[in-house]
Amino acid sequence: MSAFRGIGTTDVLQAAMRTASMNHRIIANNIANVDTPNFNPVQMDFQSTLRAVLDGGERISLRRTHPRHLEATRYLTRFDRLARTSKSDYNKVELEHEMASLDENTGNYNLYGSLLVRQFREYRNMLNNMR
C-alpha cells in the first residue's frame, strides 16, 4: 500500500467504508430518479474522494449556532458525469448499470468492514498474548 504510506491500515479501511457509504447514497439517488424526466445520473470518483478523505482536505465544517450542537464536518464528493444514451424523456439512468454498481459497492463496503474486524481481532489477540 505505498499509495497510502504513513497512514495506518485502520484509518484507510475506515475512510474506505465512509467513502463507500457516500457512494451508496449517490447510487441510490440515481436509482430513485429512474423515472424522473431530464435526470442525469452521477458517479462518484471513488479514488479521488478516498484520497481527499484520507488527506483531511476538502472538508466543510458546519456552523454551530448553539453551544450544545455537535461538531460536524462533511466531505466534498468528487463526481464524474456520465454520458449515456437517453430515453424518450431524456432520462439517462440505466437501471441495470446502477443496480450492478450498487451490488459492487455493497460488496466493497462489506469487504472493508470484514478487513477492519480482522484487524481489531489481531490487536485483541496480540494484547491477550502479552498477559
Over residues 53-103, the pLDDT tens digits come to 888 755 555 566 777 766 555 545 555 555 456 567 788 888 999 999 999
42 with 9: CB under 8 angstroms?
A: no
Whether the per-residue pLDDT at 8 is higher than 70: the answer is yes
The secondary element (H helix, E strand) that includes residue 80 is strand 79-81
Name which of 57, 51, 45 is nearest 12 in CA terms. 51
pLDDT, greater one: 70 or 33: 33
Q: State the pLDDT at residue 91.
A: 83
User: What is the average per-residue pLDDT within 32-36?
Assistant: 91
Confidence band of 51 (pLDDT split at 50, 70, 90): confident
Which set of grid coordinates corresponds to residue 85?
Answer: 444514451
Whether the per-residue pLDDT at 126 is higher than 60: the answer is yes
Q: State the pLDDT at residue 1.
A: 43
Task: Report domain extents, the chain.
Answer: 2-129
Whether the per-residue pLDDT at 26 is higher than 70: the answer is yes
